Amino acid sequence: MTEGMTRSVKKPILGTAAAILVVLAALAAYRVQSKGIESLNLWKSKFDVVIIGTELEGIYLAKQAHDAGLDVKILEPTDTIGGQLLQGEMLYLDETFDDQGKSLLQGSIQELFTDYYEGEIRKLSDFKKYFNRQIKGIPLEKNAQPISLQIVGRKVQSLTYTTKSGRTKTVEADYFVDNSDSAELVSLTGAEPLPGLESLYQATQREYMSATYMMKFRNVDWERFYGSFWELTKPERTTLYGPETYVDANIGYGFPPIVARYQLQNPDKANLRGLNILNQKDGQVIINALQVYDVDPNKPETIAAAMQVAKQEMPHIRDLLRKYIIGFENAELNGEPESLYVREYNHYPTEYILEASDLLGGVMFQDNVSVGGYFIDIQGSRSNREGFAIGKPDKYGIPLRSYLLKDVDNVILTGKMVGASYVAYGSARIQPNGALAAESIGLLLARNPGINLKQVTDAQFADFHAYMKEQHGIVLNPSPGNSKIVGMTPQDIEELNRGHITLLSNAAQARTLPFIRVFFDNQEVKFTAHRPVIIDGKTWSPADELLKAFGASYVRLDLDKREIVYQMPGSNEMKTISTSLNILNNRVLVNLREISEQFGYKATWDNLNRMINIYSNLESY
């Protein structure tokens, strides 16, 4: 009775306040129910992890940390999500393999590749559904533009950002993650960028690998494309499409001789490289090949300008494919991506900077968070539109330290923000490498809430690696990879790390810089996909362009027999010569001096100007 009387006495006194609380609770419940947990968490200002940007790699970190119980929030500076994957439509996924052809995929991204290969995820709508499943339940705020950081000692205490409406908000976190293409977070710390490609090419201004405009086509007969490719003999395929070109039911890649036929509308601003083609089914394909230069992701106007340049090329590229690739005769343009696939931006100092010798040496680290692969691919840029490869690692480790910003203790980098030299970045940047690293870091944070990642001991890492293997089936501490740098001198390793040496599959060294120019009868030979290189002290040149300059036609390259079959002007006779052949970047190379002599020409070397002059008329020589 007394308890009942107490309740009845309190009700009138608290009636108004209680009513207000009931209304607020109802409103909050409605907001959560109608807009998801994101709405409720927008009121919070303190989190375990705050992630800037929505590139796929960092989303794996966010999901693992969130699912394990950490308080996570994602801030997207733009009004769209998905970055490279959804906005740039970089849907042609590159898998990583070791020297034995064994896949290096592990973790969540392995599941994505499985669905990709099985055809379950091919179109943009499929990738959007996949992406939305990854971020489900995680608070995400778009149009959140970072403007300042409060740094106390060596830690970021809080981040202040503006909203679309112009409001200013501040969030605190134990860890902040830069998951953007444009260093949205890191640039606010005052960190100075590492040297970039401008160092390799001795350029006077910042230089990045080209960005890519993903080309979309419809009305492609993939079955005819696929079938006709394998009906060709090996020499026919090598000659028409390139020695390492490949097509199956899902993808096709290569085709440098086709690309070499294309005349760019904007040669100073764009380049068409080898085709990476994805069969999206229903006659639709998307192709990674059209590159544009001078894109700075921190300057939207450069992206807009590059998009316009790419759009001008598209009808002409469509016509090229119609003319020279079986199955593409009726191809039509099929829309355009929302933005570009941005391949590179500034690199920043981390606790450890990966070098090319780490990758090609197969080094594994005590604090591995990823096991990487993929050849070291320096894509084209302003100074070297063709680009080049440095070598193909077996497998290598990527340490946690390469994702920890050096001068601040609680800033994590993801994906293409990895701490790597401008050379090592050519491989470290690949999505499966960064995806596994980000997922591992997310699980490490969740397993050790509040931990200082820069103070994790070797024993703690050994325990973490055991946990990852037992609980997640992820092996982060395998045996070292096959070293490709055994026997190299310290000077050669230094040159390798600077990007001046390419390691070929036969262990030979090709020296690619400075670039060599070739003249035939005083006319410069134009090389579209790779310039001549020095291999074991001899000059090797892409075969097709050089033979074309010599006047040869109906050329067929037989790698197995080491033969070239061709016809010369004014003759109906097909000639055959045996000669030395090499392969680099899906191009057949010939020994320039040897092939010149076999055609009856004289080649001279101008060492001062890095020029080779070939003369057909010995009197003029």
Is 500 inside any structural domain?
no
Q: Which domain holds residue 3?
A: 1-35
Strands (E), 318-477: 332-333, 368-372, 376-378, 388-391, 396-399, 411-413
**Contact at 8 Å (CB) between 57 and 179?**
yes
Together in a domain, 301 and 220: yes
pLDDT at 84: 96
pLDDT of 512-542, one tens digit each? 767 788 999 999 998 876 788 888 788 999 9
Question: Looking at the domain assignment, is residue 571 inside a domain?
Answer: yes
- 92 with 51, same domain: the answer is yes
Residues 24, 74 within the same domain: no
What's the rounded mean pLDDT across residues 586-601? 93
> Who's near 412: CB < 8 A, 6+ residues apart?
61, 175, 176, 177, 178, 403, 404, 405, 441, 453
d(CA 111, CA 118) in angstroms, rounded, equals 11
**pLDDT digit string, tens, across residues 234-254:** 999 999 999 999 999 999 999
What is the pLDDT, as a whole number, of residue 619?
54
Strands (E), 23-87: 46-52, 72-76
Claim to verify: residue 375 and residue 449 sit in the same structural domain: yes
Q: Is the pLDDT of residue 582 over 50?
A: yes
Does 392 share its domain with 420?
A: yes
Specify whether 227 is located in the same domain as 153: no
Q: What angle do CA 365, 368, 370 make, to 5 degrees?
A: 130
Mean of pLDDT values over 367-377: 96
pLDDT exceeds 90 at position 453: yes
C-alpha–C-alpha distance, residues 30 and 270, integer Å: 51
d(CA 607, CA 593) in angstroms, rounded, equals: 15
Task: Enter the tokens of residue 426.
Answer: 């050519």
First to last CA, the chain: 120
Q: Are residues 426 and 533 in the same domain?
A: no
Q: Please calculate the CA angle 546-575-527 and round it to the nearest 5 degrees.
A: 10
Whether 47 and 170 map to the same domain: the answer is yes
- Helices 431-447 and 108-117 meet at what angle, rounded to 10? 140
Domain shared by 172 and 42, yes or no: yes
Alpha-carbon distance 93 to 341, whole Å?
13
In a domain, 506, yes or no: no
Q: Could you tell me if residue 620 is inside a domain?
A: no
Q: Are residue 469 and residue 543 in the same domain, yes or no?
A: no
Residue 461 sits in the same domain as residue 428:
yes
Q: What is the pLDDT of residues 139-176, one digit of tens each?
A: 999 999 999 999 999 999 999 999 999 999 999 999 99
CA 289 vs CA 28, 247, 256: distances in Å = 49, 16, 11
What's the pTM?
0.86
> Considering the domain boundaries, does residue 496 fall inside one?
no
Number of domains in the chain: 4
